[in-house]
Amino acid sequence: MALTVALIRSANTAMGKQAIADVTFDSSYPTNGETIDFTAAPFTGLDAFTSVYTVEVAEGPYTSAGAKLAATVCTRVDYDFSASRVVSTGKLVAYAESATGEATEVANTTDLSTVVVRMRIMGT
């Protein structure tokens, strides 16, 4: 499965390219995160990135209906730049609250198909 990305808006500015997108996870979360490709649809043509230097979760996670999620489902989503900042291989990593109250990565194959985050992406 894959992430579903809906581009809300994008702009070229003096500081580079910026985009706002809503990202919905799928029904089988993979260990170490979901790959997000900033060179594939909807980031094509004028909206395509050649490099990414900031990816932040601006809102969420929340449900597709806009409701707050239970802490045991998903409390936080981070962007993992560990792939040497390659715009086609970055990952979104989801975290949930464990029984001890600590944030731990969501388990492999967890259904996160109702989890949505609004992301702000900056690059060139």
pTM for this entry: 0.87
Q: State the average pLDDT over residues 48-53.
A: 85
Mean pLDDT of the chain: 88
In this predicted model, what pLDDT tens digit does every residue of 27-41 receive, in sequence order? 999 999 999 888 888
pLDDT reading at 104 higher than 90:
yes
Closest Cα to residue 88, out of 51, 47, 46? 51
d(CA 113, CA 26): 4
Residues 6+ apart with CB under 8 A from 9: 19, 20
The total of structural domains in the chain comes to 1
* Domain span including residue 42: 4-123
